[in-house]
Amino acid sequence: MGHVKLGLVGYPVEHSLSPRMQQAAMAHLGISGEYLLLPTKPAELPARLREVAANYAGVNVTVPYKRSVMDLLDDVSEDARKIGAVNTIVNEDGYLRGYNTDAAGFYWSLKRHNVLPGEALVLGAGGAARAVVYALVEKGWLVGVANRTLARAEELAQQLGAWLVAPAKLEKAVRRTPLLINATSVGLEDGASSPLPPGVLPEAGVVVDLVYSPLRTKLLADAAAAGLETIDGLQMLLGQGMRSFELWTGRKAPLEVMERALGKVV
Protein backbone atom coordinates (compact mmCIF):
# COMPACT_ATOMS: atom_id res chain seq x y z
CA MET A 1 0.00 0.00 0.00
CA GLY A 2 1.38 3.43 -0.98
CA HIS A 3 0.77 6.69 0.80
CA VAL A 4 -2.80 6.66 2.13
CA LYS A 5 -4.44 10.06 2.03
CA LEU A 6 -7.64 10.34 4.07
CA GLY A 7 -9.69 13.26 5.32
CA LEU A 8 -12.88 14.72 6.69
CA VAL A 9 -15.26 16.70 4.47
CA GLY A 10 -17.71 18.95 6.29
CA TYR A 11 -18.23 22.39 7.72
CA PRO A 12 -17.07 23.03 10.38
CA VAL A 13 -14.56 20.20 10.93
CA GLU A 14 -11.89 21.55 13.25
CA HIS A 15 -13.19 19.97 16.47
CA SER A 16 -13.15 16.45 15.04
CA LEU A 17 -11.46 13.63 16.95
CA SER A 18 -11.13 11.53 13.78
CA PRO A 19 -7.64 12.74 12.69
CA ARG A 20 -5.93 11.53 15.86
CA MET A 21 -7.88 8.26 15.90
CA GLN A 22 -7.17 7.43 12.23
CA GLN A 23 -3.56 8.62 12.28
CA ALA A 24 -2.83 6.55 15.36
CA ALA A 25 -4.23 3.48 13.59
CA MET A 26 -2.10 4.04 10.48
CA ALA A 27 1.04 4.68 12.53
CA HIS A 28 0.47 1.54 14.59
CA LEU A 29 0.17 -0.65 11.50
CA GLY A 30 3.11 1.00 9.75
CA ILE A 31 0.92 2.49 7.02
CA SER A 32 2.30 5.68 5.53
CA GLY A 33 -0.55 8.16 5.41
CA GLU A 34 -2.35 11.21 6.71
CA TYR A 35 -5.88 12.23 7.69
CA LEU A 36 -6.59 15.85 6.84
CA LEU A 37 -9.35 18.25 7.81
CA LEU A 38 -11.10 19.39 4.63
CA PRO A 39 -13.45 22.27 5.55
CA THR A 40 -15.75 22.67 2.57
CA LYS A 41 -18.41 25.30 1.86
CA PRO A 42 -21.56 24.07 0.08
CA ALA A 43 -20.60 25.57 -3.29
CA GLU A 44 -17.20 23.83 -3.09
CA LEU A 45 -18.55 20.33 -2.50
CA PRO A 46 -18.50 19.05 -6.12
CA ALA A 47 -14.93 20.27 -6.63
CA ARG A 48 -13.90 18.75 -3.30
CA LEU A 49 -15.22 15.37 -4.41
CA ARG A 50 -13.27 15.59 -7.67
CA GLU A 51 -10.16 16.25 -5.57
CA VAL A 52 -11.01 13.21 -3.42
CA ALA A 53 -11.43 11.05 -6.55
CA ALA A 54 -8.04 12.21 -7.81
CA ASN A 55 -5.92 12.15 -4.64
CA TYR A 56 -7.54 10.39 -1.67
CA ALA A 57 -8.05 6.76 -0.67
CA GLY A 58 -11.24 7.89 1.01
CA VAL A 59 -12.83 10.42 3.34
CA ASN A 60 -15.36 10.75 6.09
CA VAL A 61 -18.32 13.04 5.55
CA THR A 62 -19.91 15.01 8.34
CA VAL A 63 -22.36 17.87 8.98
CA PRO A 64 -23.96 19.27 6.83
CA TYR A 65 -23.30 16.90 3.89
CA LYS A 66 -24.18 13.39 5.08
CA ARG A 67 -27.39 13.46 3.04
CA SER A 68 -26.63 15.84 0.18
CA VAL A 69 -23.35 14.15 -0.76
CA MET A 70 -25.25 11.03 -1.86
CA ASP A 71 -26.31 12.63 -5.15
CA LEU A 72 -22.68 13.36 -6.05
CA LEU A 73 -21.32 9.82 -5.62
CA ASP A 74 -20.99 7.04 -8.20
CA ASP A 75 -22.55 4.45 -5.93
CA VAL A 76 -24.18 4.31 -2.48
CA SER A 77 -24.43 1.15 -0.36
CA GLU A 78 -27.86 -0.23 0.43
CA ASP A 79 -27.41 0.54 4.14
CA ALA A 80 -26.54 4.16 3.47
CA ARG A 81 -29.39 4.55 1.02
CA LYS A 82 -31.95 3.22 3.50
CA ILE A 83 -30.52 5.29 6.34
CA GLY A 84 -30.39 8.34 4.06
CA ALA A 85 -26.86 9.30 5.07
CA VAL A 86 -23.28 8.64 3.97
CA ASN A 87 -20.47 9.15 6.48
CA THR A 88 -17.68 7.34 4.60
CA ILE A 89 -16.52 7.49 0.98
CA VAL A 90 -14.14 4.95 -0.51
CA ASN A 91 -12.25 5.85 -3.68
CA GLU A 92 -11.85 2.85 -5.96
CA ASP A 93 -9.70 4.09 -8.86
CA GLY A 94 -11.64 7.31 -9.18
CA TYR A 95 -15.01 5.65 -8.55
CA LEU A 96 -16.55 7.09 -5.37
CA ARG A 97 -18.63 4.74 -3.28
CA GLY A 98 -20.62 5.90 -0.23
CA TYR A 99 -21.13 3.91 2.96
CA ASN A 100 -22.66 4.44 6.38
CA THR A 101 -20.45 3.08 9.14
CA ASP A 102 -22.40 4.82 11.92
CA ALA A 103 -24.97 2.02 12.00
CA ALA A 104 -22.46 -0.83 12.24
CA GLY A 105 -20.31 1.24 14.61
CA PHE A 106 -23.22 1.75 16.94
CA TYR A 107 -24.10 -1.92 16.89
CA TRP A 108 -20.51 -2.85 17.59
CA SER A 109 -20.60 -0.66 20.72
CA LEU A 110 -23.63 -2.55 22.03
CA LYS A 111 -22.03 -5.92 21.40
CA ARG A 112 -18.83 -4.76 23.04
CA HIS A 113 -20.84 -4.00 26.18
CA ASN A 114 -22.71 -7.31 26.02
CA VAL A 115 -26.11 -5.72 25.52
CA LEU A 116 -28.49 -8.48 24.52
CA PRO A 117 -31.14 -8.03 21.76
CA GLY A 118 -34.68 -7.10 22.79
CA GLU A 119 -36.51 -3.79 22.97
CA ALA A 120 -35.07 -0.30 22.67
CA LEU A 121 -36.24 3.30 22.77
CA VAL A 122 -34.49 5.88 20.59
CA LEU A 123 -34.81 9.61 21.23
CA GLY A 124 -34.38 11.71 18.09
CA ALA A 125 -35.16 11.51 14.39
CA GLY A 126 -32.13 13.06 12.64
CA GLY A 127 -29.33 11.32 10.80
CA ALA A 128 -27.79 9.80 13.92
CA ALA A 129 -31.15 8.42 15.07
CA ARG A 130 -31.78 6.94 11.62
CA ALA A 131 -28.47 5.05 11.68
CA VAL A 132 -29.18 3.69 15.18
CA VAL A 133 -32.75 2.63 14.39
CA TYR A 134 -31.65 1.01 11.14
CA ALA A 135 -28.94 -1.01 12.90
CA LEU A 136 -31.29 -2.21 15.64
CA VAL A 137 -34.23 -3.11 13.39
CA GLU A 138 -31.87 -4.94 11.03
CA LYS A 139 -30.74 -7.11 13.94
CA GLY A 140 -34.31 -7.92 14.96
CA TRP A 141 -34.83 -5.48 17.81
CA LEU A 142 -38.23 -3.93 18.61
CA VAL A 143 -37.54 -0.22 18.45
CA GLY A 144 -39.65 2.72 19.63
CA VAL A 145 -38.87 6.25 18.44
CA ALA A 146 -39.72 9.55 20.12
CA ASN A 147 -38.86 13.02 18.88
CA ARG A 148 -39.66 16.67 19.62
CA THR A 149 -41.02 17.07 16.09
CA LEU A 150 -43.49 14.21 15.90
CA ALA A 151 -43.80 14.19 12.11
CA ARG A 152 -40.09 13.39 11.73
CA ALA A 153 -40.36 10.46 14.15
CA GLU A 154 -43.44 9.27 12.29
CA GLU A 155 -41.59 9.28 8.98
CA LEU A 156 -38.54 7.54 10.45
CA ALA A 157 -40.65 4.89 12.16
CA GLN A 158 -42.60 4.17 9.01
CA GLN A 159 -39.55 4.02 6.72
CA LEU A 160 -37.32 1.96 8.98
CA GLY A 161 -39.80 -0.34 10.69
CA ALA A 162 -39.87 1.11 14.20
CA TRP A 163 -42.91 2.07 16.26
CA LEU A 164 -43.85 5.63 17.12
CA VAL A 165 -43.92 6.74 20.76
CA ALA A 166 -46.45 9.55 21.14
CA PRO A 167 -45.48 12.36 23.55
CA ALA A 168 -48.20 11.36 26.04
CA LYS A 169 -46.74 7.83 26.23
CA LEU A 170 -43.09 8.84 26.50
CA GLU A 171 -42.63 8.67 30.28
CA LYS A 172 -44.14 5.20 30.49
CA ALA A 173 -42.06 3.98 27.55
CA VAL A 174 -38.87 5.34 29.12
CA ARG A 175 -39.53 3.67 32.48
CA ARG A 176 -40.06 0.25 30.97
CA THR A 177 -37.39 0.20 28.26
CA PRO A 178 -34.29 -1.94 28.90
CA LEU A 179 -32.21 0.15 26.45
CA LEU A 180 -32.51 3.91 25.97
CA ILE A 181 -30.47 5.77 23.35
CA ASN A 182 -30.16 9.54 23.14
CA ALA A 183 -29.67 10.36 19.46
CA THR A 184 -30.76 14.00 19.82
CA SER A 185 -28.26 16.81 20.22
CA VAL A 186 -29.64 17.71 23.66
CA GLY A 187 -26.71 17.81 26.09
CA LEU A 188 -24.16 18.86 23.47
CA GLU A 189 -21.85 21.44 25.08
CA ASP A 190 -24.50 21.74 27.77
CA GLY A 191 -24.04 20.04 31.13
CA ALA A 192 -27.45 21.14 32.42
CA SER A 193 -29.88 19.71 29.86
CA SER A 194 -31.17 16.18 29.50
CA PRO A 195 -33.46 14.89 26.72
CA LEU A 196 -35.65 13.30 29.44
CA PRO A 197 -38.09 15.05 31.77
CA PRO A 198 -36.79 15.44 35.37
CA GLY A 199 -37.03 12.25 37.40
CA VAL A 200 -37.83 10.04 34.42
CA LEU A 201 -35.38 7.21 33.69
CA PRO A 202 -35.57 3.53 32.78
CA GLU A 203 -36.20 1.34 35.83
CA ALA A 204 -33.40 -1.03 34.79
CA GLY A 205 -30.99 -1.54 31.95
CA VAL A 206 -28.63 0.45 29.76
CA VAL A 207 -28.56 4.12 28.76
CA VAL A 208 -26.53 5.19 25.71
CA ASP A 209 -25.74 8.80 24.82
CA LEU A 210 -24.33 9.55 21.37
CA VAL A 211 -23.23 13.01 22.54
CA TYR A 212 -19.52 12.91 23.47
CA SER A 213 -18.87 16.54 24.29
CA PRO A 214 -19.08 16.56 27.24
CA LEU A 215 -18.43 12.85 27.68
CA ARG A 216 -20.37 12.69 30.90
CA THR A 217 -23.67 14.27 29.87
CA LYS A 218 -26.44 15.09 32.31
CA LEU A 219 -28.36 12.07 30.98
CA LEU A 220 -25.45 9.68 31.66
CA ALA A 221 -24.76 11.23 35.07
CA ASP A 222 -28.43 10.83 36.05
CA ALA A 223 -28.48 7.26 34.74
CA ALA A 224 -25.30 6.31 36.58
CA ALA A 225 -26.63 7.88 39.81
CA ALA A 226 -29.73 5.70 39.43
CA GLY A 227 -27.57 2.59 39.14
CA LEU A 228 -28.04 2.06 35.39
CA GLU A 229 -25.29 0.91 33.06
CA THR A 230 -24.09 3.68 30.73
CA ILE A 231 -22.35 3.76 27.34
CA ASP A 232 -20.84 7.09 26.32
CA GLY A 233 -20.65 8.78 22.94
CA LEU A 234 -17.03 7.87 22.22
CA GLN A 235 -18.04 4.23 21.77
CA MET A 236 -20.06 4.80 18.59
CA LEU A 237 -17.41 7.21 17.34
CA LEU A 238 -14.81 4.51 17.84
CA GLY A 239 -16.98 1.85 16.21
CA GLN A 240 -17.66 3.91 13.09
CA GLY A 241 -14.01 4.93 12.86
CA MET A 242 -12.87 1.30 12.99
CA ARG A 243 -15.28 0.30 10.21
CA SER A 244 -14.21 3.24 8.05
CA PHE A 245 -10.54 2.43 8.58
CA GLU A 246 -11.15 -1.15 7.48
CA LEU A 247 -13.00 -0.04 4.34
CA TRP A 248 -10.17 2.31 3.35
CA THR A 249 -7.18 0.11 4.16
CA GLY A 250 -8.44 -3.48 4.11
CA ARG A 251 -6.63 -3.96 7.44
CA LYS A 252 -8.14 -4.88 10.79
CA ALA A 253 -8.58 -1.72 12.84
CA PRO A 254 -6.46 -1.64 16.02
CA LEU A 255 -9.13 -1.12 18.65
CA GLU A 256 -7.00 -0.30 21.69
CA VAL A 257 -4.75 2.08 19.77
CA MET A 258 -7.70 3.99 18.34
CA GLU A 259 -9.47 4.14 21.68
CA ARG A 260 -6.37 5.41 23.41
CA ALA A 261 -6.03 8.09 20.73
CA LEU A 262 -9.51 9.30 21.65
CA GLY A 263 -8.15 10.10 25.06
CA LYS A 264 -9.71 7.33 27.02
CA VAL A 265 -8.25 4.11 28.35
CA VAL A 266 -10.76 1.48 29.35
Instruction: Respond yes or no: is residue 66 known to be catalytic.
Output: yes
Looking at the DSSP bridge assignments, the partners of residue 163 are 144
Q: Choose between 84 and 202: whose C-beta lies nearer to ligand ATR.
A: 84
CB 131 to ligand ATR: min, Å: 8
* Least distance in angstroms from the C-beta of 65 to ligand ATR: 11
Per the CB < 8 A criterion, the answer to whether 65 and 9 are in contact is yes
Sequence-distant (6+) residues with CB within 8 A of 77 are 97, 98, 99, 100
Question: Can you say how many angstroms the Cα of residue 238 is from the centroid of all Cα atoms in its chain?
Answer: 9
Q: Any contact of residue 125 with ligand ATR (CB under 6 A)? A: yes
* Candidate list 49, 52, 104, 128; residue touching ligand ATR; CB under 6 A: 128
Q: Is 64 in the site for ligand ATR (CB under 6 A)?
A: no
Give the nearer residue to ligand ATR in terms of CB position, either 131 or 238. Answer: 131
Check residue 186 for interaction with ligand ATR (CB under 6 A). yes
From the list 66, 172, 252, 264, the catalytic residue is 66
Per-position x/- string for 134-163, each x denoting binding to ligand ATR as judged by CB under 6 A, each - no binding = -------------xxx--x-----------
Residue 214 interacts with ligand ATR (CB under 6 A): yes or no: no
**Nearest CB to ligand ATR, comparing residues 193 and 230:** 193
Q: Output the CA torsion sign for 145, 179, 210, 69.
A: negative
Pick the binder of ligand ATR from 36, 81, 137, 185 (CB under 6 A): 185
Part of the chain binding ligand ATR (CB under 6 A), chosen from 7-15, 91-99, 178-186, 241-249: 178-186
Site for ligand ATR, rule CB under 6 A: 124-129, 147-149, 152, 184-186
Positions annotated as catalytic residues are 66
